[in-house]
């Protein structure tokens, strides 16, 4: 197999074998601790501009299935694994992982000591990196050092939709298993629409849209830079703010528009949407040392005391000390105490840093989509000031 190298900006070199596409890419290298769901990770727009390393040692053993993609194409710059499966086994698989990456021009490297790489990133923090099948070690280190940092980067413009679209049309291609009847081969139709919402696409995952529709929302997806007045002209019952990549503080035009929506409609945000709400409230965000990425992040609900195991993918967080008094922290990460949830005390707004739709990951937090229904109903009942 062709040799490949992963070079970090601090001069560390990892040697391995190439799989997927050949060539050279640069970006921030990060690690994900999920044991499954590599395809969803690879196609999550929140990873735009990054080289992703999986801590689980064997990747690719169940191949690739187009139905499991979270966006139309892979979003990562490169992929790092300890071992890639040479033979996949899954009745749903349509292609091997190496062939799929090669077809999409995404380079991968295997044979890397991912435990060493992860420990290095946890100790020194996130680093810029270069993955290459053609550069020397010295050239790759120089390329890593010349790559733009994640802080200050706007990748939302690259992943957002170019024009509004209605998700219902795509929802007709899938149905829900009738688990109540205990027969997964029996399917039921989608539930009737209860409320119409506008979803800002900062890099939205398909499973978020599925979960919203499954809860009874009619979803109109709009580009990230949509003006507040255009949202209000659609007369929705609520607004959803999606996940997305990059530095939230690099998006002042977006959170300035969100400020104009505060108090006008019920708002639910996740991941980047959560961070942008923090900025719209007047708070600040900061870059985490190495981020939270994986399906095993413990989060505590400060209101109930309950702990949920959550799916996360973010490298920035909201500074709780920067928030105004009318915004309360509702959830914290039990590993490092960072903010994982916010709620406005007077306005119909709440948000979480993690992914209630999972894909991949545990489904402990799916109840938030139902809470969004309750928020809209309370707003319509006049329980919030406007």
Is 385 a domain residue?
no
Query: Which of 9, 70, 340, 357 does the annotation list as catalytic?
Result: 357
Q: Which domain holds residue 27?
A: 3-146
Q: Are 134 and 171 members of one domain?
A: no
Q: What angle separates helix 206-214 from helix 367-380, to the nearest 10 degrees?
A: 60
What's the confidence (pLDDT) of residue 178? 58
Q: What is the CATH number of the domain that holds 18?
A: 3.50.30.20
Q: Are 162 and 224 members of one domain?
A: yes
Query: Which of 274, 292, 331, 355 does the annotation list as catalytic?
Result: 355
What's the confidence (pLDDT) of residue 137? 97
% pLDDT > 70, the chain: 94
Q: How far apart are CA 112 and CA 12, in angstroms?
A: 12
Q: Are 104 and 205 members of one domain?
A: no
List of the chain residues with pLDDT < 70: 169-188, 385-386
Q: Are 288 and 232 members of one domain?
A: yes
Q: Are 199 and 322 members of one domain?
A: yes
Instruction: Report the domain count for the chain.
Output: 2
Query: Which of 271, 292, 331, 351 does the annotation list as catalytic?
Result: 271
Is 186 a domain residue?
yes
Q: For residue 20, count other CB atoms closer than 10 A to its CB.
A: 25
What's the confidence (pLDDT) of residue 375? 97
Is 89 a domain residue?
yes
Q: Are 161 and 134 members of one domain?
A: no
What's the confidence (pLDDT) of residue 202? 98
Residue 15 annotated as catalytic: no
Burial group, residue 184, by CB count within 10 angstroms (0-12, 13-18, 19+): exposed
Q: What is the CATH number of the domain that holds 178?
A: 3.40.50.880
Residue 355 annotated as catalytic: yes
What's the confidence (pLDDT) of residue 67? 86
What's the confidence (pLDDT) of residue 352? 97
Q: Are 213 and 317 members of one domain?
A: yes
What's the confidence (pLDDT) of residue 279? 98
The string of DSSP letters for 37-64 reads -HHHHHT-GGGTTEEEEESSSEE-TT-B
């Amino acid at each position: 197999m062709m040799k490949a190298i992963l070079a970090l900006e601090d001069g560390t070199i990892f040697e391995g074998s190439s799989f997927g596409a050949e060539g050279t890419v640069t970006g921030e290298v990060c690690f994900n601790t999920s044991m499954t769901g590599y395809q969803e990770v690879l196609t999550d727009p929140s990873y735009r501009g990054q080289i992703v390393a999986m801590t689980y040692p064997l990747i690719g053993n169940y191949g690739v299935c187009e139905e499991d993609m979270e966006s139309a194409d892979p979003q990562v710059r490169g992929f790092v694994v300890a071992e890639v499966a040479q033979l996949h086994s899954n009745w749903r698989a349509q292609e091997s992982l190496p062939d799929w990456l090669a077809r999409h021009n995404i380079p991968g490297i295997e044979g890397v000591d991912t435990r060493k790489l992860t420990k290095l990133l946890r100790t020194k923090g996130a680093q810029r990196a270069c993955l290459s099948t053609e550069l020397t070690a010295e050239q790759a280190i120089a390329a890593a050092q010349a790559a733009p940092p994640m802080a200050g980067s706007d990748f939302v413009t690259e992943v957002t939709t170019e024009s509004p679209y209605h998700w219902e049309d795509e929802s007709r291609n899938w149905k829900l298993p009738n688990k109540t009847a205990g027969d997964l081969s029996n399917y039921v139709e989608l539930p009737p629409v209860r409320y119409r919402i506008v979803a800002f696409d900062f890099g939205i995952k398909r499973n978020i849209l599925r979960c919203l529709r499954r809860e009874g929302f009619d979803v109109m997806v709009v580009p990230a830079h949509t003006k507040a007045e255009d949202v209000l002209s659609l007369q929705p019952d609520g607004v959803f703010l999606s996940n997305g990549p990059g530095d939230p503080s690099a998006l002042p035009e977006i959170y300035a528009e969100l400020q104009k929506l505060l108090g006008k409609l019920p708002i639910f945000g996740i991941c980047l949407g959560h961070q942008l709400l923090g900025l719209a409230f007047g708070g600040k965000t900061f870059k985490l040392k190495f981020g939270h990425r994986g399906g095993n992040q413990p989060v505590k609900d400060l209101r109930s005391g309950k702990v949920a195991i959550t799916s996360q993918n973010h490298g920035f967080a909201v500074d709780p000390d920067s928030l105004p008094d009318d915004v309360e922290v509702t959830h914290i990460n039990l590993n490092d105490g960072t903010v994982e949830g916010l709620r406005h005390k007077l306005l119909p707004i709440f948000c979480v840093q993690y992914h209630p739709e999972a894909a991949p990951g545990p489904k402990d937090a799916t109840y938030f989509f139902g809470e969004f229904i309750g928020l809209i109903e309370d707003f319509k009942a006049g329980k919030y000031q406007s």
